[in-house]
Amino acid sequence: MDLATMPEEKLTLLERRHEYGDVYTYLFKPAQPIPYRAGQYAHVRLFGMPPEERAVREFSFASAPHDTEISFGVDSRSGSAYQRRLHAMKAGETAGIFKIKSHMTWPPPVVSDVVMIAGGIGVTPFRSMLRDLAYKRVSLTSTFIQVGRGPYQDELSALVAEYRAIQRDELPSTLAQTIQEHHDAHYYLAGSPGFVQTVAAALSASGITRVESDEFKGLAEY
Ligand SMILES: Cc1cc2nc3c(=O)[nH]c(=O)nc-3n(C[C@H](O)[C@H](O)[C@H](O)COP(=O)(O)OP(=O)(O)OC[C@H]3O[C@@H](n4cnc5c(N)ncnc54)[C@H](O)[C@@H]3O)c2cc1C
């Protein structure tokens, strides 16, 4: 199945989990199995939206392909009409899923050392990748850096060789140290466009060339 052009499929909401603040995980059951890869993202259509509002947003899968449910981690603090409708969904209601695409290669090409850097909710594709890694028992050295608050901290810290949760002002020093220790690693970045571009520029200035990223376009730069 070509996931980028597949016909729209239905997802049934199973559960909404409150992570913290305005961040929620939505667990859905697909009408039929969707063979996505870890680290991909999907277009999610909400039904019952006012006609003048955009009914589609892109979300990275927070679940891994072997999981029976599909999950998305959503920062809904904008309070947009889309976020309000999503939050109002009851278990058993449906949404549409279509156009599944990737910006990041998974598993990484060639190298066995991987550094993942997430800004806030940018953690979602990395949860998918790290769950996939653990399930497949693939041997990679993985370092995960969470910048600002993000969900899934306990789960992810158990899945990686090194887990660091830092504040934004600690980013320059943490990056300098990480670049020194993992100069030849494959770097993955995800989060708001401003966050991703800032980290990518710092990596590039240090001669790091293996960098892939997911810019969460539309996510506000809080
Ligand atoms: C590849 C990809 C993967 C993504 N994965 C995820 C994911 O896993 N989880 C996730 O939560 N999001 C993800 N996003 C972002 C998501 O698609 C939406 O863009 C995001 O949730 C914002 O939608 P919204 O309805 O809240 O805001 P919108 O109404 O769409 O916001 C519209 C514009 O207003 C700005 N804006 C909104 N609120 C404010 C505010 N309070 N102050 C200032 N400006 C504001 C936004 O920056 C945006 O430019 C992803 C995006 C892409 C492209």
pLDDT tens digits along 25-51: 999 999 999 999 999 999 999 999 999
List strands edge to edge, sheet with 41-46: 56-60, 41-46, 94-101, 9-20, 23-30, 70-75
Distance of CA 41 from the midpoint of ligand 1 (Å): 14
Boundaries of CATH 3.40.50.80 in the chain? 113-215
> Which CATH number applies to 113-215: 3.40.50.80, 3.30.70.1050, 1.10.1040.10, 1.10.390.10?
3.40.50.80
What is the dotted CATH code of the domain comprising 9-101? 2.40.30.10
H-helix or E-strand containing 46? Answer: strand 41-46
Q: Is the CB of 152 under 6 A from ligand 1?
A: no
The reported pLDDT for the residue numbered 222 is 64
Question: What letter represents residue 185's amino acid?
Answer: A
- The mean-pLDDT minimum among 21-25, 29-33, 108-112, 114-118 falls in 108-112
pTM here is 0.94
% of the chain at pLDDT higher than 90: 91
Across 110-121, average pLDDT: 93
Query: Where do we find the tokens 């980290």?
Result: 199
If one residue of 78, 100, 126, 215 were mutated to test the ligand 1 pocket, choosing by the most ligand atoms within 8 A of its CB, it would be: 78
Ligand 1 atom 7: the closest Cα is on which residue?
59
In 3D space, the residue among 62, 91, 94 whose CA is nearest the CA of residue 75 turns out to be 62
Boundaries of CATH 2.40.30.10 in the chain? 9-101
Q: Is the CB of 191 under 6 A from ligand 1?
A: no
DSSP string across 96-111:
EEEEEE-SS-SSPSS-
Distance of CA 80 from the midpoint of ligand 1 (Å): 9
